[in-house]
Chains A and B, each alone.
Chain A
Amino acid sequence: GIQVEQSPPDLILQEGANSTLRCNFSDSVNNLQWFHQNPWGQLINLFYIPSGTKQNGRLSATTVATERYSLLYISSSQTTDSGVYFCAVGPNFGNEKLTFGTGTRLTIIP
């Protein structure tokens, strides 16, 4: 099956810093989503981005499908950005299962 790798596994930053999280996947996809998992376990949708670039406030994401990677950018980090960020992909047409990476744990220090 498709493999999803996220890097870095852990990231500790000062409040106000910028960060880039990366997601590599091993096959073509028709679905790619970024999630933020809060301390209570809920997965919050950040972006649905199988290709192209999107922005939402301080967050933006880019997926280069031909090169099989996606990037999540967080600017001017706040302590509320802390948590685990997951990339998940749906590999084939009609195969709607999401395969998750192992996540990036982001800690923002005041």
Chain B
Amino acid sequence: DAGVTQSPTHLIKTRGQQVTLRCSPKSGHDTVSWYQQALGQGPQFIFQYYEEEERQRGNFPDRFSGHQYPNYSSELNVNALLLGDSALYLCASRRTGAGTEAFFGQGTRLTVV
């Protein structure tokens, strides 16, 4: 059973560019969430997708957007990259419903130069 998979694993972008990160959820999971983890900190919630719609959003600007496809895979898009967007981006999946266990992918390490 494949777990949560993310691509790419590493990425270097220039300030002002746009980036797309991808996530395939664990088999049987239909809810995908994205988190940003800055160096030395805990992951921070960006947003969550279920049934191809954004259901919850954390305190992130509109430069951060996402998408979920009918097969439950998801993308995170970041426009107009800033140096401060450099971080580890983690995708988590779970079965929908309160109190279900979340599983994380290995992350995409984004460096903005």
Given contacts A41-B109, A43-B90, contact A99 B45 (CB under 8 A): yes
Kindly state the interface size class of chain B when it binds its partner. Answer: 20 to 34
Residue from A30, A90, A94, A102 within 8 A of B42 (CB atoms): A102
- In this assembly, does B31 line the interface, its C-beta being within 8 Å of a C-beta of chain A? yes
Which residues of B32-60 have CB atoms within 8 Å of chain A's CB atoms?
A: 33, 35, 37, 41-45, 48, 56, 58
Contacts of A103 in B (CB 8 A): 42
Tell me the nearest residue of chain B to A45, going by C-beta: B103
Shortest distance between the CB of A40 and any CB in chain B (Å): 7
B98 and A31 contact, CB distance less than 8 A:
yes
B107 and A98 contact, CB distance less than 8 A:
no
What is the total number of residues of chain A having a CB less than 8 Å from a CB of chain B?
27
Contacts of A94 in B (CB 8 A): 98
A101 and B109 contact, CB distance less than 8 A:
no
- In this assembly, does B72 line the interface, its C-beta being within 8 Å of a C-beta of chain A? no
Interface string of A29-69 (1 = CB under 8 A from B): 01101010000111101001010000000000000000000
23 A-B residue pairs with Cβ-Cβ distance under 8 Å, sorted by A, are A4-B42, A30-B99, A31-B98, A33-B102, A40-B106, A41-B37, A41-B106, A41-B109, A42-B105, A43-B43, A45-B104, A48-B101, A50-B99, A86-B43, A90-B98, A90-B99, A96-B31, A96-B100, A97-B45, A97-B56, A98-B33, A98-B43, A98-B102
List residues of A whose CB falls within 8 A of some B CB.
4, 30-31, 33, 35, 40-43, 45, 48, 50, 86, 88, 90, 92-103
